Chain A
Amino acid sequence: MKKFLAFVFVGLLVCSGAWAANVTITATASQVLSVATGSTTWSVTLDNTGTALAVSPVDSLTVKSSKHAYTVTFSSSDAGQLKMTSGTDSYYIPYLIKVDTTGWSSGVTTNNLSDYVQLATGKTIVFSARTPVAGKSFPISFKINEYADYYEDGPYTATLTIGISAN
């Protein structure tokens, strides 16, 4: 009888849990992915003496991301060359870019701009950690290598494009 009573009570307890309501809670955290530089125009003066020109840093790159995996891509007009057009002639000066991410090595998987590189094709920095809300900033450096021949004097320009995408 005691066993029977125990069974009944167990049954009662089981039965008592029958009235349950399930609520699905869904939270959506909005996405933030952005890159910015301190200035949208960089101006440098080449003395045309054949010596290299380096501006370090020329600016800073600020990255903000609410994703832990993302890639920042640098690309340039004219395959990484400054260009001047005069009449029907065009003149080019190759330039190099470097981005120093050593200050946040734990958040960077691969930096293809850790040393000066010409943006003949797009170069990437691959990240593996979310930034703080204020973002992470990295120095950008600019360089024109030494040269043997004079460059045609005048104003040259290039457009550097920096993009960010989630992986």
Chain B
Amino acid sequence: MRKWWVIAGLLLLISGAVWANNVTINATVLPADANIFFDSYQWNIPLVNDGATPYQNDQQGVMTVKSGSTWIFHIQFSSANLGYVIQGTDKIAYYVKVTELADSYGGIIMSSDIMNGYVQLTSSKTIQFIGKTPKNGARFAVGIKVNALAGQFYESGAYADTMTVTFFVF
């Protein structure tokens, strides 16, 4: 009887260890070469501020997304000030759009607001991917647009916001 309990205990430990190893799915969460980077981390927008001229640069920056995993992943765009650049209590809405630069990566799944047109980051916007990117990554143009206030000035001065792009793996 005692041997039976010992064997049962060992089996539990072994099965537990196996289960724990299975949990070491950490390998899939940390895919090789997973990365996201920009050609510049400081974007400057000069506003004419004449109440008529909008600002639009469809390639304000170039974002490169790399993943060596075959798993699904997504990147998420968010804004510290919910899609506004701010100066004290003054704020200006800005809009962001993402466009794939070279149509060499077929890994984008599902339609994405931020790829369909300019959107304000009042909430986070997501692009879903599956599979590996090319070794050098998939490149995307990130555009910025600021509308003019018809017939009105923006309070002159320097406004700022921080846009965060986060890489998530499932």
Q: Which residues of A contact B (CB under 8 A)?
A: 1, 4-5, 8, 12, 15-17, 19-32, 65-68, 130-134
A30 x B152 contact (CB < 8 A) = no
Interchain nearest-CB distance for B23 vs A (Å)? 5
With known contacts A21-B38, A22-B162, A25-B163, A65–B153 Cβ distance under 8 A: yes
Instruction: Enumerate chain B residues within 8 angstroms of A30, measured Cβ to Cβ.
Output: 46-49, 156
Interchain nearest-CB distance for B78 vs A (Å)? 9
Instruction: Enumerate chain B residues within 8 angstroms of A22, measured Cβ to Cβ.
Output: 41, 162-165
Judge if B19 is at the interface, Cβ distance under 8 Å: yes
Which residue from A17, A19, A28 sits with its C-beta under 8 Å from B44? Answer: A28
Interchain nearest-CB distance for B144 vs A (Å)? 7
Can you sample 8 A-B contacts with CB below 8 Å?
Answer: A17-B168, A24-B162, A27-B85, A29-B92, A32-B156, A133-B151, A133-B152, A133-B153
B162 x A25 contact (CB < 8 A) = yes
- Could you tell me the distance between the alpha carbons of A12 and B27 in the complex, rounded to whole angstroms? 10
Not counting A27-B85, A28-B157, a sample of 11 additional A-B residue pairs whose C-beta atoms are within 8 angstroms of each other reads: A1-B19, A17-B166, A19-B35, A19-B166, A22-B163, A22-B165, A24-B161, A25-B160, A25-B161, A27-B44, A29-B47
Which residue of chain A is the closest to B37 with respect to CB atoms?
A: A21
Instruction: Enumerate chain B residues within 8 angstroms of A12, measured Cβ to Cβ.
Output: 25-26, 29
Interchain nearest-CB distance for B1 vs A (Å)? 26
- Could you tell me the distance between the alpha carbons of A130 and B153 in the complex, rounded to whole angstroms? 7
A20 x B164 contact (CB < 8 A) = yes
Instruction: Enumerate chain A residues within 8 angstroms of B41, measured Cβ to Cβ.
Output: 21-24
Name, among A1, A20, A68, the residue most crowded by chain B CB atoms within 10 Å (CB to CB): A20
- Could you tell me the distance between the alpha carbons of A32 and B94 in the complex, rounded to whole angstroms? 21
Interchain nearest-CB distance for B52 vs A (Å)? 7
- Per-residue CB proximity of B20-61 to A under 8 Å, as 1/0? 100101100110001111101111111111111001000001
